[in-house]
A and B are shown apart, each in its own frame.
Chain A
Amino acid sequence: MTVADQVKPGMPWLPTKKEKSQKFVSFLLALIASVVLLFGTGLNGKLGWVFAFFISYVSISFITEYRKAGIPAAQDSLLTSISRFAIFLAVIPIVSIVATVVSKGWRGLHWGLFTQDMSQATVNDPITNGGMLAAIVGTLIMVGLALIFTLPISILTALYLTEIKGKFAGIIRFLVQAMSGVPSIVAGLFILSSIVYPITQSYSGLMGALALSILMIPTVARTAEEVLLLIPSDLREAGLALGATQWRTVAMVVVPAVKSGLVTAIILGVARVVGETAPIILVTGGGDATNLNPVSGPMGSIPFYVWKSFLLGGTEESSQRTWAGLLVLLIWVLLLFMAARFISSRTRKG
């Protein structure tokens, strides 16, 4: 037997049984205290209880830590419990939204949703009549067009800011940042008043795509800029020192090095606009029939489908339509974000 055979791997830094039971006791105490608080004071309801529990847990763990190890440890535990609580609060709405949409929407899902449109059905018909084909096709066309408009503009803007660093870089960066805060309805009104009313005088998918582009450009440009800034200047200098022009260095060294980051930027941009409702309602006319032509005739979209089912309905069927539409939209966004995460994590490893 060597020494190594007798040694067992351990984790001496983990809390001992005693410490664990202490933690549990303070948790129980907090629970009891919160119930007492709930009945003893004006607090009531679920939220009131959460609040009472938070107060009692934070103060009890603060006191125990203080008695054990003094003020610094107590401050440490205070910060830890507050941030845990903040995370809890942040996660509640996300989980709640996803759970509600899935539980209410999944029953409305059926194959006809993807093969039929609403031209022969009203929102109050049974869910098996009609479907989202017009909406899905419309969203695909508009987001696709918006992507085509956005891609060159935003990537070139990001390159101007990081590579050319032109005279106007400062003001352009400021404008792009400001633009990302533009409310989406303003984008819709802008297209409506600058193009739809004075020029085309008709609603169409193209107008929707333009409105979405206005919202998408700042998102993609800013994300792309951040990704490009991560490239060490060493790499650019290496390219230039080899006798390359700046354009060749950017095209062959800088952009390939951030390719996946740029893809992520684009996906985030798409996810940003895919659920936009206000500008779409303003400028597309919102069709119920499947329309493949973006330059003429009203065009439907998933957010419009949801909005219309909700607004014009009031029956069981229409509310089921609304939830099913939301679920489809949510799945879209979820898939996009997963794709973005997958692509960016793959690069970090490679």
Chain B
Amino acid sequence: MSTHDEVPQENSQPQSGDKMKTTTTPHSLADVANARAVKSPGTQPLGSGLEARGVHAWFGKKHALKDVTLDFAAGTVTALIGPSGCGKSTFLRTLNRMHEFIPTAALAGEVLLGGKDIYAAGTDVTKIRLRVGMVFQKPNPFPSMTIGQNVLSGIKLAQLKVSNTDDLMEECLTRAGLWDEAKDRLNEHASALSGGQQQRLCIARSLAVRPEVLLMDEPCSALDPGSTFRIEQTISELSQTMTIVIVTHNMQQAARVSDYSAFMLSDGGPGELIEVAPTNELFSRPRDKRTEDYVTGRFG
């Protein structure tokens, strides 16, 4: 399996991005991917990196994920793409130990957060989830709480101490791109917000506990294009300070927001990692035939 370290660095040179800025409309996925400057790993030592080492996952007897080894360098955005049922979401959920909530779930392999295995015996799992936050496919703000309470819910739930909650609330809502719309409505119930706003509220909520890594499971699949655009902006801004892993069905979105893309596939058996590369490279010069077929829309 290839990891980021093995990726040739020439591809992350910014000149390709500069070249594309003259184009008014990007035409292909590769163009879209090229249109954004690529962050090379290690240049921004922000947040913590996450390393999956030989991760397998099972649901009962069903082998759902096979031997995925993948690095997420600190401060980068990595998109997990692939057809439905290829194990993207399952893999994502192994990264903050949400996988184990499925009663029949089983796992093998290691996931290193800041160099330490999150599955090691004696690990406090709630601490792991504080450091690795998650945004779900469907916006799921807490219905019994107001907008403001939702933002601070993580603090209350994990019993953290915060000196100035008002500042934290403003900061998180600003970073999630919701402050201007929500600042006068903090005492309204979260259900009063639109779907896109609710999803940004969920992002704000996960930011409040200051995670180092943010996992996003198809965060825009239930949203309209306008809200999707807004959330993609939010992702770009967040990637300045944290590591982001995003599962998406939308290859355009992967091309727009991610530095790296990982293509996963299942041929009826367990899902496997086929290829990982800087996003512009994966979309313009995929090394694997199956990746090429997928990104050019020949299947999936």
Contact = CB atoms under 8 A, between A and B. Distances in A.
A42 interface: no
Interface in B95-137: 96, 98, 101, 103, 126-127, 129-130, 133-134, 136
A89 B107 CA distance: 58
B25 interface: no
B299 to A, nearest CB: 30
Interface string A243-264: 1110011001100110100000
Nearest to A239: B157
B189 interface: yes
A350 interface: yes
B53 interface: no
B144 A259 contact: yes
A234 B98 CA distance: 12
Interface string B220-263: 00000000000000000000000000000000000000000000
Interface string A217-260: 00000000000000010110111111111001100110011010
A243 B158 contact: yes
Interface stretch (B65-73, B177-185, B201-209): B201-209
B129 A235 contact: no
A242 B209 CA distance: 7
B96 to A, nearest CB: 7
A107 interface: no
A344 to B, nearest CB: 15
B142 A248 contact: no
B157 A257 contact: no
Interface in B130-178: 130, 133-134, 136, 138, 140, 142-145, 153-154, 156-159
A237 B130 CA distance: 13
Nearest to A252: B157
A241 B127 contact: no
A234 B126 contact: no
Given A243-B158, A243-B209, A252-B156, A238 B133 contact: no
Interface residues of A, number: 21
A252 B205 CA distance: 15
Contacts of A235: 140, 142-143
A244 B96 CA distance: 13
Contact of A241 (B134, B142, B156): B134
A242 B143 contact: no
Which of A241, A244, A249, A259 gathers the greatest number of chain B CB atoms within 10 Å?
A: A241
B153 A241 contact: no
A241 B133 contact: yes
Given A257-B143, A259-B144, A242 B154 contact: yes
B103 A248 contact: no
A160 to B, nearest CB: 15
A291 B134 CA distance: 59
A67 interface: no
B146 to A, nearest CB: 12
Contacts of A239: 142, 153, 157
A239 B140 CA distance: 10
B242 to A, nearest CB: 15
A240 B129 contact: yes
A241 B154 CA distance: 9
B133 A242 contact: yes
A165 interface: yes
B98 A242 contact: no
Contacts of B156: 252
Contacts of B140: 232, 234-235, 237-238
A238 B150 CA distance: 11
A350 B134 CA distance: 27
B144 A241 contact: no
Contacts of A242: 129-130, 133, 153-154, 157-158, 205-206, 209
Q: Chain B CB within 10 Å — which of A239, A242, A248, A259 has the most?
A: A242
A260 to B, nearest CB: 10
Interface string A125-149: 0000000000000000000000000
A240 B154 CA distance: 9
Contact of B127 (A237, A243, A259): A243
A59 to B, nearest CB: 51
Interface in A108-126: none
A243 B124 CA distance: 10
A221 to B, nearest CB: 22
Contact of A240 (B98, B142, B144, B189): B98
A259 B133 CA distance: 27
B154 A243 contact: yes
A165 B101 CA distance: 11
A256 B143 CA distance: 9
Of B126, B144, B154, the most chain A CB neighbours within 10 A belong to B144
A156 to B, nearest CB: 20
Nearest to A165: B103
Nearest to A255: B144
A249 B140 CA distance: 14
Interface in A146-197: 165
B91 to A, nearest CB: 16
Contacts of B138: 234
A10 to B, nearest CB: 34
A226 B202 CA distance: 27
Interface of A: 165, 232, 234-235, 237-245, 248-249, 252-253, 256-257, 259, 350
Given A248-B159, A252-B156, A259-B144, 15 more contacts: A237-B134, A239-B142, A239-B153, A239-B157, A240-B98, A241-B134, A241-B136, A242-B154, A242-B157, A242-B206, A242-B209, A243-B157, A244-B126, A253-B142, A256-B144
16 contacts: A232-B140, A235-B140, A235-B143, A238-B136, A241-B136, A242-B153, A242-B157, A242-B205, A242-B209, A243-B129, A243-B158, A244-B126, A244-B154, A248-B157, A257-B142, A350-B189
